């Protein structure tokens, strides 16, 4: 029987090689989980490669982007000046 702490590593090993590619940045110590920049880049890459199936839209700003400098940065690695919030629309625009 596997200990629960081993499950993420096992699950990661089952993910396809493409999904684990080094092309996208990951969260430290979580080799299968893309960070904000990795997720954002993968969404734009998917929509660029499949423009009739996926689009990316800026749907807003985080609180810190609207209120820069208001973060307590000593306790987090969240970018101090915030970031955009992206919507990822997956649909076939050629369908009727």
Ligand X SMILES: *[C@@H]1O[C@H](CO)[C@@H](O)[C@H](O)[C@H]1NC(C)=O
Binding positions for ligand X, rule: CB under 6 A: 55, 57, 89, 91, 93
Q: What is the rounded distance in angstroms from the CA atom of residue 55 to the CA atom of residue 66?
A: 24
Which is closer to ligand X, CB of 25 or CB of 55? 55
CB of 63 to ligand X, least distance (A): 22
Concatenated DSSP letters of 45-72: HHHHH-TTTEEEEEEEE-HHHHSTT-S-
Q: How far is the CB of 79 from ligand X (least distance, A)?
A: 26
CB closer to ligand X, 37 vs 93: 93
For the CB of residue 43, give the shortest distance to ligand X in the complex, in Å: 13
How many whole angstroms separate alpha carbon 68 and alpha carbon 93?
A: 37
Q: Smaller CB distance to ligand X: residue 70 or 89?
A: 89
- Residue 31's φ and ψ, nearest 5 degrees, are -65, -15
């Amino acid at each position: 029987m596997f200990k629960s702490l081993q499950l993420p590593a096992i699950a990661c090993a089952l993910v396809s090689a493409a999904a684990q590619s080094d092309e996208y940045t990951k969260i430290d110590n979580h080799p299968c989980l893309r960070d904000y920049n990795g997720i954002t880049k993968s969404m734009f890459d998917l929509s660029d490669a499949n423009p009739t199936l996926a689009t990316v839209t800026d749907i807003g700003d985080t609180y810190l982007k609207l209120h820069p400098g208001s973060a307590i940065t000593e306790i987090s690695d969240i970018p101090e000046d915030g970031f955009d919030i992206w919507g990822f629309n997956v649909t076939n625009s050629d369908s009727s």
